[in-house]
Structure 1
Amino acid sequence: MTNLQRLEMEIKGINLSQNELQVYLLESNLTPHTEYNPESKKAIYQSALSILESIANQPSLMKSYKYDDMTVSDFAEHIQSRIDQLERKIRQMKTSEEDTSFFMLFNG
């Protein structure tokens, strides 16, 4: 599985061109056609977050639609909720630069 395929898996249902997806991956310092490495999961999430934020910046998507007997509304609330979930998940993930040791300032 490549980074591009992993990103597509993360954003199922969002239709973007391969070129657009590659740009999002490159902005997260990932090469699209390189083999996916689980250590780059945080960068995949960051790419997905960027995609959701781009969608949220389209005012035409924020209105309510009625299709047959079904109303599609609250899109803005749902996408913002997903953005918040991804941001929280990214913040909680440990980066490779983080050191597992800590410094004890006070020792009593």
Structure 2
Amino acid sequence: MTNLERLSLETKGINLSEDELSIYLMESDLTPSSPYQAQSATNKRNIYRAALSILESIANNPSNMKDYKQDDMSVSQFAENVQARIDQLERKIRSMKTDEQSDSNFFMLFNS
């Protein structure tokens, strides 16, 4: 599986071309055609960063932010739901470690 395919899995339901997905990956320091490395914390974190960028781009489109009602279906609160997902991804990315970080939960509060 390539990085492009992994990002497509993360953003199911969002219709973007492969070129657009590739740009988001390159902006997140990933090569679209490179193999996805599931064991790499940095690779996984960058995939989430690319997905976050996609959601932020969707949130920047004002035409998506209105409520829709069609026949007996309604899509409401789209803006709130997108923002909630953006916030969730931001928290997840901040809490994820990179390959360079140690697995220790210890930090120095005071240094003499």
The counterpart of 1:43, out of the listed 42, 46, 61, is: 46
CA change 1:103–1:69 in 2 (3 A) is: closer
After TM superposition, the structure 1 stretch with the greater mean CA deviation from structure 2, 87-96 or 41-50, is 87-96
Candidates 52, 57, 63, aligned match of 1:60: 63
Q: What's the CA shift string for 1:2-31, capped at 9, x where partnerless?
A: 000000000000000100000000000100
Give the TM-score, by structure 2 length.
0.88
C-alpha distance 100-71 of structure 1, shift in aligned 2 (>3 A): closer
Q: Equivalent residue for 2:84?
A: 81
Structure 1: any 5+ residue segments left out of the alignment? none
> Secondary structure in 2 aligned to 1:71?
strand
The aligned amino acid for 1:76 is A
> How far apart, in 2, do the equivalents of 1:11 and 1:22 lie?
13
User: May I ask how many residue pairs the two structures share in their alignment?
Assistant: 107
CA distance, structure 2, for counterparts of residue 8 and residue 80 of structure 1: 20
Structure 1 residues 103 and 51: alpha-carbon distance in aligned structure 2, compared to 1, 3 A threshold: closer
CA RMSD of aligned residues (A): 1.8
The sequence identity of aligned pairs, in percent, is 64
| Deviation >6 Å, runs of 4+ | none
Measured in 2, the distance between the counterparts of 1:78 and 1:26 equals 27
